[in-house]
Amino acid sequence: MLLVMLAAMLCVYIGPSAAGSGIPEVKAYLNGVDTPHVFSLNTLVVKVRECLFRIYSIFGFFVRFLLSDLKSL
């Protein structure tokens, strides 16, 4: 839960342009719309860290679930 909150705080406070999937931003860029801070290094770093935090939190949940399931056997 802490990792999910950390990922959300990264997106809200450090890189708000990193929210979402990025597909609408790429479509807009390909159509000629200039959106500031969408393809910046800060956005990339926030997206990578947010993705890693979410994956780690899901992995931790499943490990805990599998271990509790194995103990019940």
Of the two residues 20 and 27, the one the predictor is more confident about is 27
Q: What is the mean pLDDT of residues 18-24?
A: 83
Q: What whole-number distance in Å separates Cα of residue 24 and Cα of residue 32?
A: 12
Q: What is the mean pLDDT of residues 14-21?
A: 82
Tokens 């999937």 sit at which residue?
21
Q: What whole-number distance in Å separates Cα of residue 60 and Cα of residue 3?
A: 10
The structure's pTM equals 0.68
